[in-house]
Amino acid sequence: MAFLEIDHVTKYFSSPSGTGQVCVFKDVTIKIDKGEFVTTIGHSGCGKTTLLNIIAGLETMSEGAIILNGKEVSGPGLDRMVVFQTFSLMPWMTVFQNIRLAVRAGYPDWDREKITAHVHKYIDLVGLKGAEDKRPTALSGGMKQRVGLARAFSIEPKVLLLDEPFAQIDALTRGVIQEELVQMWNTTRNTVFMVTHDVDEAILLSDRIMLMTNGPSARIAEIVDVTIPRPRTRETVIEHPHYYKIRNHIIHFLVRHAKHGTGGDGGPPDQSASEAPVEVNFERDASVLR
Amino acid sequence: MAGERTGNFKDTVFMSGTFLLVFLLAWHLFTLREAFDPKGLTQEQLQTMEFNGDIVRTPDGGYVWNPEKEKVKGVPGPLAVLEKAWVELGEAFEIKGTNDHGIAYLVLYTVSRFGAGFLAASVVAVIMGVLLGLNKVLFRAVNPYIQILKPISPLAWMPLLLYTVKDPKWTAVLVVFMASLWPTLATTAFGVNTLRKDYLHVAAILQLSWLRRLYRVILPGAAPAIVAGLRISFGSALVAVVPAEMLLGELGVGYLSWIEWNNLDIAGVIFAILVVGVVGVILDSGFNKLAGLVTYQE
């Protein structure tokens, strides 16, 4: 049985004019195994972040259910920790205090020394030793997100939800932090659900990549298996014969859907609106190559 | 760079000092009165003037303007104010009568009256502001009333407050309370209401208890807005305390200015005004120190 199940989740927003509702995405269904790293890619407005927030329990869904470890979840909880695009560090707290806030919440029965030691362990893990007493304002974007990652990993959540975690970090630092994330994830093997715009990032990190069509009424069109063995690094991953096949496939998908526009501006209607997502695996089937 | 800064600082001090000197000199010259000159006056006229109290006889047989009458003739010069200040500060800790307490006591009365009203109002305003800020429906329901009550001058409440509590001492505190309530209330509600959703999301995911959420996230997150509100309240309370003392006859630096007016001691009035200014500056700098401790940069 799948560890995290997103079961026919549909989200409606009431339209801005107040009359009727707009469907953001429809019948999103995916089963994620324990320790699996799944990424969602799609154009802005397809509801990726909304989906992630629904899994986190920060937003409500209109229909469907989120099932974690056999139990339906409602509302936010310590078992699903989010790494935010905007870092979401408390600016009035130091690095240490930001992480301690999470550790205290995650392990309420620990004593002070144990909490302090645990916080320091994760600060060391993300290489922020010496910056413990700095406030987020004094940190670069990359360092801020390292704090965000340390905070998320420190409570050892069952599911890690990454909401475009590296979008606000400069390209050079981004690569470094991506590899740090891989290393951390290798030791913990949390189940991860990530949302991103960055195709290379998705291939480097994920086991499977969900491709979403544009909203309104977005849906999962394809699920691409990343058939590149781990461990992966930024250097070796691009050498793999499947790398550019997968990359081109995803980019073709995104370009094709960009032409259709985002708001139903005269593009051809999506014929396959009710079909199950196509599963793409370049090892199993080389013919899907476009 | 550092040298440049000290240079600027020196220039600033020099300029400030020059402005002060020019002002004092001008003040002195414009208020200067010529010494009494008996030339051209008959003995009879001089006797009438002495009888009227316009002039007094000096021990060496000459005449000078009566210094008591001088006090209310025109605006006193800086030297007269300095002399008054010297006398007042010399007996700062003396109590000579029911209405004649030393300046140190008057400052103490005003500061404690101000402090009590301001602190009580701040506590009430922050609690109410947080409650309103957390509940959008409640906020929208109450906001029109706040908007109506906010612009009312705190002094306008005074007759009603005096009638209700029947004690000028508490009425003065309550006027300060009314003056400092609304700005803090409105900005606290706004600050909590517009707190970045991210922070609340983190608090929700971490399943923080209600109390911890309040003390670790909501209050520190809204602290810049709360401090901004307190600052406005602070100014408005400081403005309100002086006329409240005047109208209610409560001993304090505001009342001092009124007593001196009743005594027709204009130098005393000017001295009282300066004391109000100094007290304001001291309270304000204390407030700024406190505010610096709780605010943060995004």
pLDDT above 90 covers a percentage of chain B that reads 46
ipTM of the complex: 0.86
Domain span at residue A247 reads: 4-72+209-288
Q: Quick check: A245 pLDDT over 60?
A: yes
List the single range of A36-40, B51-55, B232-236 with lowest mean pLDDT: B51-55
Task: Write out chain B residues lying below 8 Å of A137, CB-based.
Answer: 296-298
Q: Is residue A229 part of a domain?
A: yes
Query: Given this model, what pLDDT does residue A202 score?
Result: 94
Burial track B119-134 (b if 16+ CB lie within 10 A, e otherwise):
ebbbeebbebbbebbb
Average pLDDT over residues B154-168: 91
- Helix, strand and coil percent figures for chain A, each rounded to 5: 35, 25, 40
Contact between chains at B206 and A78 (C-beta distance less than 8 A): yes
pLDDT above 90 covers a percentage of chain A that reads 58
Contact between chains at B202 and A90 (C-beta distance less than 8 A): yes
Are A53 and A59 spatial neighbours (Cβ–Cβ below 8 Å)?
yes
Average pLDDT over residues A73-85: 92
Q: Select the residue of A92, A101, A105 nearest B296 (Cβ to Cβ).
A: A92
Q: Is residue A12 part of a domain?
A: yes
Closest-CA residue of chain A to B293: A92
Q: Quick check: A47 pLDDT over 50?
A: yes
Query: Given this model, what pLDDT does residue A1 score?
Result: 67
Q: Select the residue of B198, B208, B296 nearest A84 (Cβ to Cβ).
A: B198
Reading the block at residue B255, the tokens are 């009342």
Contact between chains at B205 and A58 (C-beta distance less than 8 A): yes
Task: Write out chain A residues lying below 8 Å of B204, CB-based.
Answer: 57-58, 75-76
List the single range of A220-229, A270-279, B86-95, B129-138 with lowest mean pLDDT: A270-279
Query: Given this model, what pLDDT does residue A165 score?
Result: 92
Contact between chains at A56 and B198 (C-beta distance less than 8 A): no
Q: Is residue A230 part of a domain?
A: yes
Looking at residue B79, what DSSP letter applies?
H
Closest-CA residue of chain B to A84: B198
Nearest of B74, B71, B90 to residue B267 by alpha carbon: B71
Best residue of A52, A79, A90 to probe chain B, by most B CBs closer than 10 Å: A90
The model's pLDDT over B257-288, given as tens digits with 9 standing for 90+, comes to 888 888 888 888 999 899 989 988 988 888 88
Query: Given this model, what pLDDT does residue A267 score?
Result: 41
pLDDT band at residue B6, thresholds of 50, 70 and 90?
A: low
Q: Select the residue of A57, A86, A106 nearest B198 (Cβ to Cβ).
A: A86
Contact between chains at A92 and B220 (C-beta distance less than 8 A): yes
List the single range of A156-160, A206-210, B60-64, B198-202 with lowest mean pLDDT: B60-64
Task: Write out chain A residues lying below 8 Å of B296, CB-based.
Answer: 91-92, 135, 137
Distance from CA of A80 to the nearest CA of B (A): 7
Q: Is residue A235 part of a domain?
A: yes
pLDDT band at residue A30, thresholds of 50, 70 and 90?
A: very high
Task: Write out chain B residues lying below 8 Å of A88, CB-based.
Answer: 196, 198-199, 201-202
Query: Given this model, what pLDDT does residue B72 score?
Result: 62
Whose tokens are 């977005």? That residue is: A218
Q: Is residue A221 part of a domain?
A: yes
Task: Write out chain B residues lying below 8 Å of A57, CB-based.
Answer: 204-205
Task: Write out chain B residues lying below 8 Å of A92, CB-based.
Answer: 220-221, 223, 296
Q: Angle at the Cα of B46 (from B41 to B52), degrees rounded to 5? A: 135
Q: Quick check: A266 pLDDT over 50?
A: no
Task: Write out chain A residues lying below 8 Å of B201, CB-based.
Answer: 56, 58, 76, 82, 84, 88
pLDDT above 70 covers a percentage of chain A that reads 92
Q: Is the pTM of this model over 0.90?
A: no
The model's pLDDT over A128-157, given as tens digits with 9 standing for 90+, comes to 999 999 999 999 989 999 999 999 999 999
Amino acid, single-letter form, for residue A73? V
Best residue of B195, B197, B200, B206 to probe chain A, by most A CBs closer than 10 Å: B206
Query: Given this model, what pLDDT does residue A274 score?
Result: 54
Amino acid, single-letter form, for residue B290? L
pLDDT band at residue A271, thresholds of 50, 70 and 90?
A: very low
Looking at residue B252, what DSSP letter applies?
S
Whose tokens are 């790398």? That residue is: A243
Q: Which residues pair with A12 in a beta bridge?
A: A23
Structural domain total, chain A: 1
Distance from CA of A169 to the nearest CA of B (A): 17
Query: Given this model, what pLDDT does residue A287 score?
Result: 54
Contact between chains at A58 and B207 (C-beta distance less than 8 A): no
Query: Given this model, what pLDDT does residue A290 score?
Result: 45
Query: Given this model, what pLDDT does residue A214 score?
Result: 85
Between A104 and B65, the more confident residue is A104
Query: Given this model, what pLDDT does residue B150 score?
Result: 87
Amino acid, single-letter form, for residue A89? L
Average pLDDT over residues A77-92: 93
Between A226 and B4, the more confident residue is A226
Query: Given this model, what pLDDT does residue B296 score?
Result: 76
Average pLDDT over residues A253-280: 62
The model's pLDDT over B17-49, given as tens digits with 9 standing for 90+, comes to 999 999 999 998 888 877 777 777 888 888 888
The model's pLDDT over B80-107, given as tens digits with 9 standing for 90+, comes to 889 888 988 888 788 887 778 888 999 9
Contact between chains at B297 and A57 (C-beta distance less than 8 A): no
Q: Is residue A222 part of a domain?
A: yes
Domains of chain B in start order, with CATH, are 33-70 (no CATH), 97-294 (1.10.3720.10)
Nearest of A105, A40, A98, A55 to residue A78 by alpha carbon: A105
SS3 B203: helix
Query: Given this model, what pLDDT does residue B295 score?
Result: 77
Are A164 and A172 spatial neighbours (Cβ–Cβ below 8 Å)?
no
pLDDT, mean over chain B: 87
Contact between chains at B206 and A84 (C-beta distance less than 8 A): no
Q: Is residue A135 part of a domain?
A: no
pLDDT, mean over chain A: 87
Average pLDDT over residues B202-231: 92
Residues of B with CB under 8 A from a CB of A: 196, 198-199, 201-202, 204-208, 216-217, 220-221, 223, 296-298
Between A223 and A279, the more confident residue is A223
- C-alpha torsion A159→A184→A207→A152, nearest 10: 30
Q: Is residue A219 part of a domain?
A: yes
Count of residues in chain A: 290
Q: Quick check: A27 pLDDT over 70?
A: yes
Q: Quick check: A288 pLDDT over 80?
A: no
